[in-house]
């Protein structure tokens, strides 16, 4: 009997299989006194998310990750996705998984910066890393170890599982003429970007994605950022605010996480742990590719069908963003120990990334723009 046949015949409950063939719970042999291995071999996990059901790019990525883990494990670890609000509120994912009321969550770390400012670095920080750079720092630059350390305090094991790429600056009802226009402005912006806005005179709040449209249309907020053309088109912000600003200084490549209850993860057999890790790694690539595939055509729809005005932030605004961002990040040097060490690791990596990007991505993109589309 091969492994697949064996698993196919052991869909639920306690199963008696050939001695020494396979033991799902610990990935090794689990022989009884009488010889045959006793296998309890099917786990069903709940993945709570911060996204509306099947929301493009984010909800669909969670669905795909769940399906990938289920398929790769041949059903031994079946993951069922719960959209925001069906089991827990959109920003309640971290606590739900930490407490074990769900085994897995699909969300982004900066929503939980109230627990530690260090968590921002695993999502996005102002003037931070691009998608490629964030992946490099997490996987090869020490980021994962810091993330593991920070989340272990809450009984969680985090995996990087996606990225939106560079985000847009956001939707504004009125055109911004200068920095003065941020005074008193109420804007939705999560993470440290929100703190930067406060430094330049605005107020910022962290509204969950599915609640932004109502906040914007009621006038409770004057402006919002979300992600980029594809996602923002889906939420319909163009119906309220026509001025679409770039670039997104606050989220140059936002990372997403599959966080897992650590006790549940540690109890998995090694092969299922590897399947979860590998599925997350694969899905990280899939999410970014999908965003890059759809943002360009969604941008055309926004401009050509919905009359959206693309606008670059005024120079004095970008200068103020940079100054305030530097201040906000520098203050993390005196935050808690984990945040300080995470910031220092990030800062060192960013310095090297800036030097390399100038010659590589940035150098190439500048050349491509100048030579192929010199007029924009
Ligand atoms: Ca965003």
Single pTM value for the model = 0.87
Is a pLDDT exceeding 70 seen at residue 246? yes
12: tokens are: 């639920």
What pLDDT does 91 receive?
A: 95
Rounded to the nearest angstrom, the distance between the alpha carbon of 73 and the centre of ligand 1 is 33
Which helix H or strand E contains 16, and what residues bound it? strand 14-17
259 CA distance to ligand 1 middle (Å): 19
Predicted local confidence at residue 296, as pLDDT: 95
Mean predicted lDDT score pLDDT of the chain: 90
Which of 367, 342, 341, 372 minimizes the C-alpha distance to 129?
A: 342
Ligand 1: centre distance to CA 28 (Å): 43
Please give the average per-residue pLDDT across 247-263, as a whole number.
97
Tell me: pLDDT of 31 over 70. Answer: no
pLDDT at residue 295 is higher than 90: yes
CA of 168 to the centre of ligand 1 (A): 8
* CATH number for region 3-164+253-292: 3.40.190.170
Q: How far away, in angstroms, is 229 Cα from ligand 1 center?
A: 11
CB contact at 8 A, 312 and 244: no
Share of the chain above pLDDT 70, in %: 89
How many Å lie between the centroid of ligand 1 and the Cα of residue 191? Answer: 9
The 3-class SS string of 125-180 reads: CCCCCCHHHHHHHHHHCCHHHHHHHHHHCCCEEEEEEEECCCCCCEEECCCCCCHH
Summarize the confidence of residues 107-119 as an average pLDDT. Answer: 96
CA of 252 to the centre of ligand 1 (A): 9
Higher pLDDT, 2 or 66: 66
- Cβ pair 171, 223 in contact under 8 A: yes
Q: What is the pLDDT of residues 308-345, one digit of tens each?
A: 999 999 999 999 999 999 999 999 999 999 999 999 99
pLDDT of amino acid 376: 81
Average pLDDT for residues 132-140, to the nearest whole number? 98
Cα–ligand 1 centroid distance for 167 (angstroms):
6
Confirm if 39 and 17 have CB atoms less than 8 A apart. yes
Residue 20 confidence (pLDDT):
32
Cα of 23 vs centre of ligand 1, distance in Å, is: 43
pLDDT band at 1 (very low <50, low <70, confident <90, very high): very low
Q: Could you tell me the distance, in angstroms and rounded to a whole number, from the CA of residue 209 to the centre of ligand 1?
A: 9
- For the residues 289-309, what does the mean pLDDT come to? 97
* CB-based contact 261:100 (threshold 8 Å): yes
Residue 47 alpha carbon to ligand 1 centre in Å = 22
* 55 Cα–ligand 1 center, Å: 15
Residue 184 CB neighbours (<10 A): 10
The residues spanned by each domain of the chain are: 3-164+253-292
**Span 64-99, pLDDT tens digits:** 999 999 999 999 999 999 999 999 999 999 999 999
Structure tokens at 167: 């985000």
Question: Of 144, 44, 55, 42, which is closest to residue 107 (Cα–Cα)?
Answer: 55
| Residue 47 reports pLDDT greater than 80 | yes
Confidence class for position 261, pLDDT limits 50, 70, 90: very high
CA 292, 159, 73, 25: dihedral to nearest 10 degrees?
A: 180
CA distance 339 to 63: 32
**CA 189 to centroid of ligand 1, rounded, Å:** 7
Q: Which pLDDT value is given to residue 26?
A: 37
Using the mean position of ligand 1's atoms as its centre, give its distance from the Cα of residue 3 in Å: 44
Return the pLDDT at 162. 98
The number of beta carbons lying within 10 Å of the beta carbon of residue 177 is 10
């Amino acid at each position: 009997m091969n492994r697949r046949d064996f698993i196919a015949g052991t869909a639920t409950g306690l199963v008696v299989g050939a001695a020494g063939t396979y033991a799902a719970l610990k990935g090794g042999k689990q022989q009884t006194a009488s010889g045959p291995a006793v296998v309890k071999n099917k786990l069903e996990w709940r993945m709570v998310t911060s996204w509306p059901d099947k929301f493009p790019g984010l909800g669909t990525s969670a669905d795909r990750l769940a399906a990938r883990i289920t398929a790769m494990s041949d059903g031994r670890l079946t993951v069922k996705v719960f959209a925001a609000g069906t089991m827990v509120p959109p920003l309640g994912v971290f606590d739900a998984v930490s407490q074990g009321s769900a085994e897995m969550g699909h969300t982004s770390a900066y929503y939980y910066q109230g627990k530690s400012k260090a968590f921002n670095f695993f999502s996005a920080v102002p003037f931070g890393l691009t998608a490629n750079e964030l992946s490099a720092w997490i996987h090869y630059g020490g980021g994962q170890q810091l993330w593991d350390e920070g989340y272990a305090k809450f009984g969680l094991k985090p995996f990087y599982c996606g990225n939106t790429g560079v985000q847009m600056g956001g939707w504004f009802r009125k055109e911004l003429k200068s920095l003065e226009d941020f005074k008193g402005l109420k804007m939705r912006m999560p993470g440290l970007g929100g703190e930067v806005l406060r430094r330049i005179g605005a107020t910022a709040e962290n509204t969950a994605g599915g609640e932004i449209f109502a906040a914007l249309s009621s006038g409770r907020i004057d402006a919002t950022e979300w992600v980029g053309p594809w996602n923002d088109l889906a939420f319909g912000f163009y119906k309220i605010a026509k001025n679409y600003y770039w670039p997104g200084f606050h989220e140059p490549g936002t990372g997403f996480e599959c966080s897992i209850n650590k006790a549940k993860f540690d109890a998995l057999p090694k092969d299922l742990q590897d399947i979860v890790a590998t599925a997350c790694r694969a899905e990280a690539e899939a999410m970014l590719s999908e965003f890059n595939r759809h943002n360009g055509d969604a941008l055309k729809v926004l401009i050509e069908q919905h009359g959206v005005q693309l606008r670059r932030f005024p120079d004095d605004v970008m200068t103020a963003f940079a100054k305030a961002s530097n201040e906000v990040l520098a203050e993390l040097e005196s935050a808690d120990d984990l945040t300080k060490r995470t910031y220092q690791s990030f800062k060192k990596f960013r310095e090297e990334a800036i030097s390399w990007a100038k010659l590589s991505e940035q150098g190439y993109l500048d050349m491509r723009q100048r030579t192929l589309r010199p007029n924009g």
